[in-house]
Amino acid sequence: MSEPLEADFVIVGAGSAGCALAHRLSEDGRHSVLVIEGGGTDWGPFIHMPAALSYPMNMNRYDWGFRTAPEPHLGGRRLAVPRGKVLGGSSSINGMVYVRGHACDFDGWEADGAKGWGFADILPYYLKLETSHGGEAGWRGSDGPLHVTRGPRRNPLYHAFVEAGKEAGYGETADYNGHRQEGFGPMEMTVWGGRRWSAANAYLRRAWKRKNVRVMANSFVRRVVIENGRATGVEIGARGVERTVRARREVILSASSINSPKLLMLSGIGGADALRKLGIEVKADRPGVGRNLQDHLEIYLQAESLKPVTLYRYNNLLGKALVGAQWLFTKTGLGASNQFESAAFIRSKAGVSYPDIQYHFLPLAVRYDGTSAVKAHGFQVHVGPMRSKSRGHVALTSPEPEAAPEILFNYMSHAEDWEDFRACIRLTREILRQPAMKDYLGREIMPGPDATDDEALDEFVREEVESAYHPCGTCRMGAAEDPLAVVDPECRVIGVEGLRVVDSSIFPRITNGNLNAPSIMVGEKAADHILGKPPLPRDTRRVWIHPEWQTKQR
């Protein structure tokens, strides 16, 4: 701790985007990089064993432990908001599902003011970051740091689910991350060599070997230091000692869609009136900080299995021990997969131009926290809408950095949210009743066979819906003249020099599917902006859109 704490680039947060930045900013050896992470090491089997995914996201050691304020449209329930507090950030505690997002999502970003972030602009960065194993040739990267693989799909239920989708009239896609997202097919995961391939494994470890990179774990950043309108460093509290880390060129916040806006507000960047009420000196009046909070919600539609083919036989102490031992010594077997091996993206109705419903299929009836609603063989379909119109916020509760912020998603505040979930449930039931599932589909566990009318389905959603853990949007990227934009299209905080935000908080709108992949892509693209490099050449290929989307739902 006696060494001067300074670097050309100071990155706050060793998560999905932060790890990518650390690698790319230090790659040519010309710049020093210091990464500050509030959590500790990612050592330990619970993180690296894919099948153990429910453990790290429920461990205080690895998670910031945030919860929402009482959600008014969910009966006052307070939902968990896991965010990784560990090297790799949320990529070290997530479900490892890899989804790029749909091309139309990114064209929507550009329409919202994020110039240069349309699909043609970001596709080259996906090609750069990936090493795809089994993806569509030409549409997927082959030599990037992030390995993307597929599970073996040995369980017959994975194939039955896809066949049921086809029987229901939906298409099939061999690669939803390729030219066609819409349809049923295999799911992809960030797993390599039987281990979780987090951003720490993919990016940070190779960067850490360089002499120009330093990583400070277990270091709590209290605020950004701003002098004469420029960010010059950050104030940290490590082991009870407060120090200032100096940034010779830039400070980059990659601290998550919860902690990045929190740090901006603690540093005097946010809505002026709210900051003054807390006694915080206003450095830049940006009322958009903390607003535009978005997420995906999902429900589990669970059913008992007529055949004993599910993972239930391993959901006991002995079964888990056997699976764990095989993985520990060989990195193979059930422990080497997150068990999400089949998926689908569909449209909820005619007139919707691209998928707005996502499916994860799991051959076990179990919650994210590992609890089970039934002691029997079962399976479940995770399903939820992709583009809710509901918006929430992150706000300070105190000027003290240690205080947790207020997080209110305002879930289900739009009437269309309820319509969308009813459609999700009814379309899912129709799929599961197809001939391909006949030999497996037993009694419906959740919502249950009696929940059929709108009122019953709404009550089920109100009581049981859960976050898919995809918060984003709280430091929205947009045009510099947009009063609610927080960063410009080069990720620079508007109104403060030498400060950028690079993580999922800058998403103007949420993307289809899980957010780890687009968060890493943001880190890759932002690195070129920060280094002053020309962006990668645009790729203007068009993705598949259902030719009759205006009149047909499938």
Same-domain check for residues 271 and 213: yes
pTM of the full predicted structure?
A: 0.97
- Taking the C-alpha atoms of residue 154 and residue 166, their distance in angstroms, rounded to an integer, is 19
Q: Does a structural domain hold residue 191?
A: no
Which stretches of the chain drop beneath a pLDDT of 50?
A: 1
Residue 253 sits in the same domain as residue 264: yes
Same domain assignment for residues 367 and 457: yes
512 touches 345 (CB < 8 A): yes
Specify the 3-state DSSP secondary structure of 50. Answer: helix
510: left (phi over 0), alpha (psi -120 to 50) or beta: beta
- Cα 360 to Cα 182: distance, rounded to the nearest angstrom: 14
Q: Which domain holds residue 77?
A: 1-122+196-293+390-410+472-536
Q: Is residue 94 part of a domain?
A: yes
Classify residue 313 by its DSSP letter.
G
Residue 48 sits in the same domain as residue 112: yes
On whether the CB atoms of residues 233 and 500 are closer than 8 A, the answer is no
Active site residues: 470
Position 128: which residue type? K
- Do residue 304 and residue 252 come from a single domain? no
Annotated binding site for FAD: 86, 94-97, 221
Residues 318 and 272 in one domain: no
Please state the residue numbers annotated as binding site: 86, 94-97, 221
307 and 355 both lie in a single domain: yes
Distance CA 86, CA 35 (A): 12
Quote the CA–CA distance of 334 and 324 in Å, as a whole number: 9
> pLDDT tens for residues 448-463?
999 999 999 999 999 9
- Which amino acid is residue 464, in one-letter code? E
Percentage helix, strand, coil for the chain under 3-state DSSP, each rounded to 5: 30, 25, 45
Q: Are 260 and 475 spatial neighbours (Cβ–Cβ below 8 Å)?
A: yes
Tell me, yes or no, whether 287 lies in a domain.
Answer: yes
Residues 356, 421, single domain; the answer is yes
148 CA to centre of own chain: 15
Q: Can you tell me whether residue 110 is helix, strand or coil?
A: helix
Residue-wise over 319-357: b if at least 16 C-beta within 10 A, else e? ebeebbebbeeebebbbbbbbbbbbbbbbbeeebebbbb
Q: Are residues 353 and 372 in the same domain?
A: yes
Specify the DSSP class assigned to residue 538: P
Q: Are residues 72 and 208 in the same domain?
A: yes
Per the structure, the count of domains in the chain is 2
Q: In this structure, is residue 478 part of a structural domain? A: yes
Do 213 and 270 lie in one domain? The reply is yes
Backbone angles phi and psi of 242, in degrees to 5: -90, 130
Averaged pLDDT of the chain: 96
Q: Are residues 114 and 217 in the same domain?
A: yes
Which CATH number belongs to the domain containing residue 10 in this structure? 3.50.50.60
Distance CA 271, CA 267 (A): 12
Q: List alpha helices for 344-414, DSSP H.
A: none
The domain spanning residue 436 has which CATH number? 3.30.410.40
Q: How far is CA 448 from CA 214, 303, 312, 362, in A?
A: 53, 9, 20, 18
Q: Rounded distance, CA 59 to CA 92, Å?
A: 12
Q: Is residue 531 part of a domain?
A: yes
The owner of tokens 């002026």 is 272
Distance separating the N- and C-terminal Cα atoms of the chain: 61
Grouping H, G, I as helix, E, B as strand and the rest as coil, residue 409 is: coil
Tokens 């079964």 — which residue?
Answer: 319
Does 547 reside within a domain?
no
The CA distance from 410 to 413, in Å, is: 6
Tell me, what's the pLDDT at 375?
81
Q: Mark which of 464, 498, 526 sits at the end of a domain.
A: 464
Is residue 137 helix, strand or coil? coil
Question: Is residue 364 included in any domain, yes or no?
Answer: yes
Please give the pLDDT value at position 44: 85
- Look at residue 380 in the predicted model and tell me its pLDDT: 97
Residue 325 lies in a domain: yes
Supply the pLDDT for residue 45: 85
- On the 0-12 / 13-18 / 19+ scale of CB atoms within 10 A, 463 is exposed
